[in-house]
Chains A and B, each alone.
Chain A
Amino acid sequence: MDNLHGIRNFLHSCLRRQLSESDLSWLEQQQATISETLKDTLFFTTFSRLPQHVGKQDLLPTDIERQAAQQLRKGWVLDDWSVDQVARAWLLLGLPWEQDAERSHRWLQLSFTHGDVAELVALYQCLPLLPFPEHHVRRAAEGIRSNMTAVFNAVALANPYPAEYFDDVAWNQLVVKALFVGTPLHPIQGFDRRLNPQLSQMLTDYAHERWAAGRSVNPELWRGVALFATAEHQSDVQRLLTSANPLERDAGALVCMDSPEPTVRALLTPYPKQRQRIQSGQLSWATLYRSITFSDVASAAA
């Protein structure tokens, strides 16, 4: 709970930098009245209406704010946050979590139940900041089931929560669904740490299914396969290495370098330049990610 206060103070300092005095005091006043009266409708309507007062501009965090966020909560990435999201987080963290955890949970759940698109995004972004993180696992998994890509992304991308709390079943669904909806894999936190043989198999099957349908595959997929590649993956990797698409050729080379399987590693031998690009840092999963145009992958996946 100490951290809760630290995070809340930090959010408040971000708001102070961004908001006029009158907008900030409106928000503070609302919060004070909510704490005093504990009127649920006041909380919900304040949560909904606050963009009209605080605006929806991007937060554009300073370097100091970025570092402070990481120190307060490992993996907390502020870069894509907007001011209304900061205000919503501040309001949520201001629920009486210590004095009345039951009410706080109830209000949080109801906020999810009737949330609009932007509210759901803000709520899911806040999961790693909330107290009792282990209580939100089912909710987070529900977010992964969302049909609204923006909501899915709020759980899956730039969010430390899933890697820390999901079991393998939920985690593997997250990764495969990211591919399915055309969202990039690189911003998924803890990706390498949570790799597992079952996921590797699911990704391989998914790639085969896409290929059989004559559809493209996000080449980042192979990052999830490399570590658990077997001799049976030789033909897949060979196909990548000789693909007409340079991004697939790069993915193939990266798989060879990452893989502990000798028969797969050996496939890179005819491509010394690729090996050199990887060793010099010119090519990595990160550079590959930056080279992909995800709108193309998305429309291919739709």
Chain B
Amino acid sequence: MTFSIPERFKFIDPHAHMSSRTTDDYAAMREAGVVAVIEPAFWWGQPRTSVGSFQDYFSSLVGWERFRASQFGIRHYCTMGLNSKEANNEDLAEAVMELLPIYAAKEGVVAIGEIGYDDMTALEERYFCRQLELAKELDMLVMVHTPHRDKKAGTKRSMDRCLEFGLKPSQVIMDHNNEETVEDVLSRGFWAAFTIYPNTKMGNARMVEVVRQYGSDRIIVDSSADWGVSDPLAVPKTAMLMLERGIPEEQIHDVCYRNALKAYGQSGQFNEEDWLNPAPIDQRQVFSGNSVLRGQKPQVEQPSHNPDLVLIE
């Protein structure tokens, strides 16, 4: 199937690790109709060895990466958290926990996440719980990364913990679901996000069938595009596959835009107005990027990369 997207579609990718992606990806995403992304704090593909690495990473999520996205007309948000893998380094984890309240308060931070289990060790358990406690204290949403291994049990246990710490299911987005977990997550009232990611997570043909079976209520599609083999256009591509395979447009709009807006909009930090009608100061700072002058049209960078062209200017 060829891939072209009707003008009327716009998308949110509520899980994309843009720091690992190129400007060509940003340009392609904007071209495909992606207007906003959420970048969850996660690990780097190899463990960090000092808290300074976390600090600079967190700063870049609310600084350079936010600015970089804006140059391509994409509004960038993030979640802050200590990922489960690195929770296993206790000294480091303690130091990161001290940073979290400061970064959690930043503008555009929509949740504590992605947190949860990896190997389901005692340390993972401890820092997952500590972060749920923090979310409750700060009245924040939670984005849960469900584990790759022992997924079904890990998903169930994650939801149990969230409830134990006083979070409402509507405040928790359970991510990386599949056919085995979706029923439990939806029936308990949580948001069910699906990551379209080749080989290890969901394929989008399977995603079409999930929506056909369960409808569009509280279901969210994302890419989790990162430094691995992944696809930053997973959301628009999945929408087009749904369209081709007869899923009603309203439902496509729900799972590829509206539900992410509803779920993360509860934070008060994620509003459609931000990209449809940004405040003048935001236009000057992050949506024109190249001038503080009033009344200028936001300038959007063009893709530098055209695979059909040999010429570089």
Contacts and interface: CB of A to CB of B under 8 A. Distances in A.
Q: Which of B66, B281, B293, B302 has the most CB of A within 10 A?
A: B281
Given A56-B279, A150-B289, 14 more contacts: A41-B101, A41-B102, A51-B107, A58-B281, A114-B103, A116-B66, A116-B107, A117-B67, A117-B286, A119-B106, A147-B64, A148-B64, A153-B292, A187-B292
Given A116-B62, A148-B64, A52 B268 contact: yes
Nearest to A56: B279
Interface in A114-131: 114-121
A48 to B, nearest CB: 4
A183 B291 contact: yes
Interface of B: 55, 58-59, 62-64, 66-67, 99, 101-103, 105-108, 268, 279-282, 284-286, 288-294, 296-297, 299, 301-302
Interface string A19-61: 0000000000000000000000100110011011000111000
Contact of B291 (A84, A113, A120, A298): A298
B294 A80 contact: yes
A295 interface: yes
Chain A binding surface SS class: helix
B63 A45 contact: no
Contacts of A85: 281
Contact of A115 (B59, B101, B268): B59
B281 A117 contact: no
A56 B292 CA distance: 15
Contacts, number: 106
Contacts of B301: 299, 302
Interface of A: 41, 44-45, 48-49, 51-52, 56-58, 80, 82, 84-85, 113-121, 147-151, 153-154, 157-158, 181-184, 187, 294-295, 298-299, 302
A51 B288 CA distance: 20
26 contacts: A45-B101, A45-B102, A48-B106, A56-B282, A57-B280, A57-B281, A82-B279, A82-B280, A113-B59, A114-B103, A116-B62, A117-B62, A117-B285, A148-B63, A148-B64, A149-B67, A149-B291, A150-B286, A151-B67, A183-B291, A184-B293, A294-B290, A298-B290, A299-B301, A299-B302, A302-B301
Nearest to B298: A295
A118 B55 contact: no
A113 B285 contact: no
Nearest to B299: A295
A153 B291 contact: yes
A116 B108 contact: yes
Given A44-B102, A80-B294, A147-B67, A118 B289 contact: no
B299 A298 contact: yes
A295 B291 contact: yes
Contacts of B285: 117-118, 121, 150
Nearest to B78: A116
Contacts of B281: 56-58, 82, 84-85, 118
A158 B292 contact: yes
Contacts of B55: 113-114
A44 B63 contact: no
